[in-house]
Chains A and B, each alone.
Chain A
């Protein structure tokens, strides 16, 4: 059962003030955050590690921003999503500070069909071959279920430009992994 927001904040504060509690929290969170990022950056380990690091650093420095509406790992994944967008977009971080974090519950245990798991490496390989900005747009739109407008805001692009970007990304991804479009 999900803890109320206040309790979640207290739990996080406790974890950040006690070595043993922090160890337990970290061991649970780091794999989930890394796993969240790994596929989204096309299996680029360096990027996944770098953004994992940035995510945790931001979390412990700005933990007061955690409102407890989601569990702390979902909150971390929201930070990671923004960091990933930051990583690939052309513009700096200033405008990002005006964005609202859209917290979506992340399902920690993704139940994937066996055949999908078998295809995972192929999908990640295909994603890796996309230009960074197209890959980011694609995963934000179709993996994180953000609206085109939200993707545009994260990538600091116009809605129309993002829509065009997504079309290009889909076409390129289709050429690399046509199975994703076969019904």
Chain B
């Protein structure tokens, strides 16, 4: 019979054809990220045809990487994952030149060991708690609070899951953060809030449900504490075409306003790290742009009015700046170039451009802060007189170890504020003390 012969012929295409190994591994990794399973086991050969090297990385992988901030991977890229053995004595730094340097990347002074400088929380000048994101090697990110002896403790020990991107409210009574619930089969990140003791965690993203709302992350309070700005991933047209946008939640009513001007297809760009200006009128946020092959091709900082109007670019794409943080007086923004998450997706170029800059809200007066090495995750202390940042040890026995540092707002007086014997830390935020 003709049809039967046709069937038999076609059945030979039910093949044992194996996928490209690199594709299969990329897909595995993005599925693991989607499931929130954390570090992945070693890949096993799939066999099949010869390996092609086309390196396709879809939006899902990039979005997942950006959302999860895989510090362990970063660390491994930085020259080998540091072990848990005690690192060498604290590497402190000498005071740097007191003035910020001009915009052109220059030979910024390299921190030099200076045993006379002792890491101390007292050096921050205020009593506000310092919460930071633990970049532990297994990717099990948790929020930690620095202790007076420079050790740290789990900030919300009873809450399982991955905690990241903490932000204090203006009076220092509450803290918002992203939480990835690993017991959720979807493993997605939503925004939670707790009190200053970490004893009252409760969700703020209660109405973020599939299929329209996929994820919420990167919260920051408005200057008056009444609203929360964050990044939402939505799928208005189904899961296959998600969009990233900046949104604002009224904490009183729960109403969410999506700033449509910031909406972009995740396949083209991902928003992150939105921050209110001190006057509450403007929101700065980072955008990691995606190329056609799904890999990040650049990052910029943009500004948008809190009313959703006047979305515009702040930093030149060539600067590759992200993680904007407004100075307390609103006169400038602190940005990190090749910010951690972006850097990971851009790892073909390496981490040699992780620097700190300031820039005025009109885009002028771009200045590099005189701290060399691999630095990022910078925030202002609650007083606004100092900058907290992470310095990644590049050499020695513990390459890749991130340590919390501080410096004065002008780039001087560089010093560690967490012990290298403690936890590696990123994105430290200090509690405002009225």
Residues of chain A having any CB pair with chain B under 8 Å? 13, 16-20, 22-23, 26-27, 30-31, 34-36, 38-40, 45, 48-49, 52-54, 56-58, 60-61, 63-64, 93, 106-107, 110, 112, 116-117, 119-120, 123-124, 127, 138-139, 142-143, 145, 170, 173, 177, 179-183
A-B contact count (CB 8 A): 147
Q: Which of B15-23, B358-366, B401-409, B416-424 contacts A (4 or more CB under 8 A)?
A: B15-23
Which residues of chain A come closer than 8 Å to B13, judged between CB atoms? Answer: 38-40, 120, 123-124, 127, 139, 143
For the complex, is B153 an interface residue (Cβ under 8 Å from A)? no
Q: Are B238 and A116 in contact (CB under 8 A)?
A: no
Q: Which positions 26-52 of chain B face chain A at CB distance < 8 Å?
A: 27-28, 30-32, 34-35, 37-41, 44, 46-48
Which residues of chain A come closer than 8 Å to B16, judged between CB atoms? Answer: 31, 35, 110
Q: Are B238 and A53 in contact (CB under 8 A)?
A: no
Q: Are B48 and A31 in contact (CB under 8 A)?
A: yes
Q: Are A52 and B27 in contact (CB under 8 A)?
A: yes
Q: Are A31 and B2 in contact (CB under 8 A)?
A: no
CB < 8 Å: which of A13, A23, A116, A123 contacts B40?
A: A23
Given the complex of chains A and B, what is the CA–CA distance between A127 and B48 in angstroms?
A: 22
Q: Are A180 and B5 in contact (CB under 8 A)?
A: yes
Q: Are B7 and A53 in contact (CB under 8 A)?
A: no
Q: Are B20 and A17 in contact (CB under 8 A)?
A: no
Q: Are B12 and A119 in contact (CB under 8 A)?
A: yes
Offer 6 A-B interface pairs, CB within 8 angstroms, sorted by A: A26-B28, A35-B18, A49-B56, A58-B239, A61-B186, A119-B12
Q: Are A180 and B6 in contact (CB under 8 A)?
A: yes
Given the complex of chains A and B, what is the CA–CA distance between A131 and B44 in angstroms?
A: 37
Kindly report which residue of chain B lies nearest to residue A143, judged by CB atoms: B10
Majority secondary structure, B binding face: loop
Q: Are A39 and B14 in contact (CB under 8 A)?
A: yes
Kindly report which residue of chain B lies nearest to residue A53, judged by CB atoms: B27
Kindly report which residue of chain B lies nearest to residue A106, judged by CB atoms: B14
Distance to closest chain B CB from A138 (angstroms): 7
Q: Are A34 and B34 in contact (CB under 8 A)?
A: no
Given the complex of chains A and B, what is the CA–CA distance between A85 and B16 in angstroms?
A: 21
For the complex, is B60 an interface residue (Cβ under 8 Å from A)? yes
By size class, the interface of chain B is 35 or more
Distance to closest chain B CB from A29 (angstroms): 10
Given the complex of chains A and B, what is the CA–CA distance between A19 and B11 in angstroms?
A: 34
CB < 8 Å: which of B3, B7, B17, B20 contacts A39?
A: B17
Kindly report which residue of chain B lies nearest to residue A42, judged by CB atoms: B13
Given the complex of chains A and B, what is the CA–CA distance between A107 and B44 in angstroms?
A: 24
Which residues of chain A come closer than 8 Å to B24, judged between CB atoms? Answer: 30-31, 34
Distance to closest chain A CB from B238 (angstroms): 6
Given the complex of chains A and B, what is the CA–CA distance between A64 and B185 in angstroms?
A: 10
Given the complex of chains A and B, what is the CA–CA distance between A45 and B9 in angstroms?
A: 21
For the complex, is B348 an interface residue (Cβ under 8 Å from A)? no
For the complex, is B58 an interface residue (Cβ under 8 Å from A)? yes
Q: Are B11 and A110 in contact (CB under 8 A)?
A: yes
Q: Are A142 and B6 in contact (CB under 8 A)?
A: yes
Q: Are A27 and B34 in contact (CB under 8 A)?
A: no
Given the complex of chains A and B, what is the CA–CA distance between A170 and B1 in angstroms?
A: 14
Which residues of chain B come closer than 8 Å to A93, judged between CB atoms? Answer: 238
Residue of A35, A138, A182 contacting most chain B CB atoms (<10 Å): A35
Distance to closest chain B CB from A135 (angstroms): 10
CB < 8 Å: which of B10, B12, B31 contacts A60?
A: B31
Kindly report which residue of chain A lies nearest to residue B56, judged by CB atoms: A49
Given the complex of chains A and B, what is the CA–CA distance between A34 and B18 in angstroms?
A: 7
Q: Are B14 and A36 in contact (CB under 8 A)?
A: yes
For the complex, is B8 an interface residue (Cβ under 8 Å from A)? yes
Distance to closest chain B CB from A68 (angstroms): 16
Given the complex of chains A and B, what is the CA–CA distance between A57 and B46 in angstroms?
A: 20
Q: Are B9 and A116 in contact (CB under 8 A)?
A: yes
User: Known interface pairs A31-B16, A143-B10. Does A57 touch B60 (Cβ–Cβ under 8 Å)?
Assistant: yes
Beyond known contacts A34-B24, A35-B17, A180-B10: 10 more, CB 8 A cutoff? A16-B35, A19-B37, A39-B17, A40-B13, A45-B20, A53-B30, A60-B31, A110-B16, A116-B9, A139-B10
Given the complex of chains A and B, what is the CA–CA distance between A49 and B32 in angstroms?
A: 17
Which residues of chain A come closer than 8 Å to B19, judged between CB atoms? Answer: 30-31, 34, 48-49, 52
Which residues of chain B come closer than 8 Å to A16, judged between CB atoms? Answer: 35, 185
Q: Are B9 and A57 in contact (CB under 8 A)?
A: no
Which residues of chain B come closer than 8 Å to A63, judged between CB atoms? Answer: 185
Which residues of chain B come closer than 8 Å to A138, judged between CB atoms? Answer: 10
Distance to closest chain A CB from B31 (angstroms): 6
Given the complex of chains A and B, what is the CA–CA distance between A27 and B11 in angstroms?
A: 23
Q: Are B32 and A22 in contact (CB under 8 A)?
A: yes
Distance to closest chain A CB from B343 (angstroms): 25
Which residues of chain A come closer than 8 Å to B18, judged between CB atoms? Answer: 31, 34-35
For the complex, is B240 an interface residue (Cβ under 8 Å from A)? yes
Which residues of chain B come closer than 8 Å to A123, judged between CB atoms? Answer: 9-10, 12-13
Given the complex of chains A and B, what is the CA–CA distance between A87 and B313 in angstroms?
A: 36
Given the complex of chains A and B, what is the CA–CA distance between A142 and B13 in angstroms?
A: 12
